[in-house]
Amino acid sequence: MKTDIIWVLPWVGVVIAVQSTNGADFSSQVFDYIVVGGGTAGLAVAARLSDDPKVTVGVIEAGPYYESDPLIDTPALAGQLQGNAKYDWMFESVPQTHVNNRVLPMPRGKALGGSSAINLMALDRASKIEYDAWEKLGNPNWNWNGLLPYMKAAEHFTGVDPFRVNSTGANPNEIFPSQGTEGTIAASFNMILYHHSEKAMANRGVFINFDPDSGDPFGLYNSATAVNRTTGTRSYAANTYFAYNSARANFVVLTGAQATKIEFKDSTTRKPNGKLTATGVSFVYNSTMYTVKVKKEVILSAGTFQTPQLLELSGIGNTTILRQNGITPLVDLPGVGENLQDHLLVPTTYELKPGMTTLDILRNDANYAGAAQAQYAATHDGIYSYSTSTLSFINLDYIATSDELSNMLARLDGEVTTDKVTALQTRNMKSKKIG
């Protein structure tokens, strides 16, 4: 019988990913761990668990495996992924009061690899102050020093930042102590198009930061990017954590399967708010419902929106909301699905001086685009290997007067004291004033 499992067949030195048409075989197995969501974190967790050959790991992923897909793999084409229903769940916000009731897109990757398949590949870190604030919110050891080893463990840096070569004559193979070299995700730097922003920001008095991953990202820097410079392609969860380990018999990934519910032991007879023990996961594949059983744990890694959704579908959440939607409550946990905080982004557009090369040239100059494609195919570099590069974090006093800053702080203090802000939001906003 064919299965829905992706596996790897070694043949004459070639690795071939095979995908079938039926999910029955997956559901007939009993796994030690089931990971719901084969995305950025889910595949990493599953791969690490499968390091132990005595442990069996099953992964349920709704999207397909887009192996060697040029839109995903080619860095310069990343802008065509978000808002593309083939790769994006196409989630939208509810109307937002403070932006004239507009509905905003909320891109999430619908593929093996999750949003690491459709993002812009920047590998960036926050400041030490911000990570240390997590610990102050009541999470012991969730601070900069505690998390840095794990951040480094995911990275495999190669090459050096061109900023450093051009400005300091650094050894091209030098790696900072803040950067990982033994990890899974390829980390590198753009070698082109970085100098325009360098010159522009220098004219504003913003200095270059050669080591932004050290916990101090202030200034202008060439952001690390998840691009394998040997192949010129995106490095993401599917072509690393999955592809590197898919020959393991104890690591089974099922694609095209939508998880619908976590199954629990004796959930109908347990006492209210008593402990629950997960026994498996129900999922739909090709309009057929299956349930796969688990011995140890179900790990939810279905993303920002679908993880709380699956908890609610399984009876864990705000009792009032669950009953309104015909779901029998198992655990009253009102925080499920609440307190989403996302990045604020205000895009700006500038007219550049003549002679400045940007990605627009690939759309506007067919001859240039053709030559660039040939270069990329032959040597895996050039403009098609370009992804997110320079970033700049600067203090507000670079762009605001002291009076404007005082007004901002006063407004923040006022927001904290209103009844519209939760206790967690209050503590979080207070922590953002540190430093």
**pLDDT, tens only, 222-245:** 889 999 999 999 999 999 999 999
Q: Are residues 381 and 311 in the same domain?
A: no
Domain that holds residue 18: 1-121+232-345
Bigger pLDDT: 328 vs 205: 328
Q: Are residues 115 and 145 in the same domain?
A: no
The most confident of the ranges 19-23, 136-140, 270-274, 346-350 is 136-140
Out of 11-25, 128-142, 158-172, 385-399, which region has the weakest mean confidence (pLDDT)? 11-25
Q: Are residues 207 and 128 in the same domain?
A: yes
**pLDDT score at 321:** 97
Q: List the CATH number of the domain containing 375.
A: 3.30.560.10
> What domain count does the chain have?
3
**pLDDT score at 433:** 56
- Exposure b/e, 15-24, CB count within 10 A at least 16 = b: eebebeeebe
Q: Where do the H-state alpha helices sit in 179-313? A: 195-202, 303-313
Q: Are residues 72 and 128 in the same domain?
A: no
C-alpha separations of 339 from 132, 288, 303 in Å: 20, 34, 15
Q: 379-424 pLDDT, tens per residue?
A: 999 999 998 778 888 888 888 889 998 998 888 888 777 767 777 7
**d(Cα 96, Cα 325) in Å, to the nearest integer?**
23
Out of 26-30, 293-297, 313-317, 349-353, which region has the weakest mean confidence (pLDDT)? 349-353
**pLDDT score at 7:** 35
Of 159, 147, 152, 141, the residue nearest 177 (C-alpha): 152
**pLDDT score at 273:** 63
**Strands of 76-208, DSSP E:** 91-92, 105-106, 122-123, 155-157, 185-187
Q: List the CATH number of the domain containing 74.
A: 3.50.50.60
Strand 30-36 with 288-300, pairing? parallel
Q: What is the mean pLDDT of the segment spanning 68-79?
A: 96
Query: Quick one: tokens of 223?
Result: 């952001």
Q: 283-307 pLDDT, tens per residue?
A: 999 999 999 999 999 999 999 999 9
0.95 exceeded by pTM:
no
Q: Are residues 98 and 241 in the same domain?
A: yes
Out of 69-78, 85-94, 129-138, 162-171, which region has the weakest mean confidence (pLDDT)? 162-171
Cα distance between the two ends of the chain: 61
Q: Are residues 129 and 57 in the same domain?
A: no
Q: Are residues 115 and 1 in the same domain?
A: yes
β-pair partners for 185? 155
Q: Is the dihedral of CA 134, 138, 139, 141 positive or negative?
A: positive
Q: Are residues 237 and 340 in the same domain?
A: yes
Q: Are residues 107 and 132 in the same domain?
A: no
**pLDDT confidence bin for 323, thresholds 50/70/90:** very high
